[in-house]
Amino acid sequence: MATKPNVKAEARLESQLRAKSNALKSTDKKYKVIQDELERANSALHEALQVMSYVPTIYEMKPSPTAKNGQATAFLLLSDVHCDELIPKHKVNGLNEHNPDISKRRVATIFDRALRFIRVDRQETNVDNLVVWLGGDFFTSSTMHDASCAFPPIVAVMFAQDLIVSGLTFLLHNEPKLTIHVVCSVGNHSRLSGSAKPVNQSSEQEHSLEWMMYHAIRSHFSKEKRITFQLDNSYHSYLKCYNKTIRFSHGHLGWRYNDGMGGVHGSLWKIISQKWNMQVFAHLTVQGHYHSYTPASLGRPYLVNGSTVGLSPYSLSFSTGAEPPAQAYFLVHSKYGIVGQRPLFAES
């Protein structure tokens, strides 16, 4: 029979043996992990070397013959020009400057670039029709927001009319085969009352100097067969282009986004999907008012136009940045729908 000292010694040796065995198992596991990592690294290196040494097969590609594909209608959006507004550089930290002369130059640049894009698009598609949206707020009016303006309202209306008629004449003269359809929407700055508060929608047009201006412009072109005008006595105007319905409004009535983190997106999509499309469904909603160019997308069927006036002392409080003065241009293709969205920058 083993003595007590021998039992203790055996127990100590067994404990040490188990400890050594556990340590060896732990070492084996670590070795196995390192071995696996090494194998993966070698495999990755082998694959990388295969990729680096691969000689690609070059498939022959031939350019398709130059041919115009289908029909398309071009759209030029013109809104929020504020042609009479005076914006000195020192009032907007040097980020912008605006006066009637600058407005005249910027509007001319917009029409010129629209003509250029029409000619570019004609290389691929038959583009013989143009829709020009006159989206409102062509002048500011000193009675709105106490803005600094170069002209009293009536003179501002005449100056705005000069700019619009000059631009339309420019397009007609330089594109003899182009037909133009003009859709007219009134803005909030053209109210006869001069009040910043919204008027009743049932009398919006009847209280608008722009509405009278649009009728005067239509009268000016009454003998020109290549231009037509759409003056709807409703807040929204609808236009059917091929199989797409497009909705137009200035954007100042019915909703407000209050400078939220999502910009116009949440509030605008909510009223489109829950109200406006329940009345008349439109594939695209076009508006301005917020001076922030926002292109449409497949999941966002609305387009917000920019402005040509740019940043002002009033808009400093809600603009997220000094967005360059710009307007929107796009195509509606007879087969592919709304394509080719581009901003038309008003400055060189």
Tell me the Ramachandran region of residue 299: left when phi exceeds 0, alpha when psi lies from -120 to 50, beta otherwise: alpha
DSSP state of 136: S
Q: Which residue has the higher pLDDT, 113 or 62?
A: 113
Does residue 241 surpass a pLDDT of 90? yes
Please work out, in degrees rounded to the nearest 5, the angle formed at the alpha carbon of residue 104 by the alpha carbons of 309 and 94. 40
For 290, how many CA atoms within 13 A lie in the half-sphere containing its CB?
25
- Mean pLDDT on 287-311: 90
C-alpha to C-alpha distance for 339 and 167, rounded to whole angstroms? 24
Q: Confidence band (pLDDT; 50, 70, 90) for 102?
A: very high
Residue 302 contacts residue 296 (beta carbons within 8 Å): yes
- DSSP per-residue string spanning 60-72: ---PPPP---SEE
Lowest mean pLDDT among 188-197, 237-246, 266-275, 308-317: 188-197
CA distances from 290 to 21, 55, 304 (A): 76, 54, 8
- Mean pLDDT on 112-133: 96
Please work out, in degrees rounded to the nearest 5, the angle formed at the alpha carbon of residue 104 by the alpha carbons of 326 and 212. 95
Q: Which residue has the higher pLDDT, 196 or 193?
A: 193
Q: Which two tokens mark 152?
A: 């009293």
- Mean pLDDT on 30-36: 87
Lowest mean pLDDT among 42-46, 86-90, 331-335, 340-344: 42-46
Cross-strand pairs, 332: 73, 338
- Residue type present at position 46: H
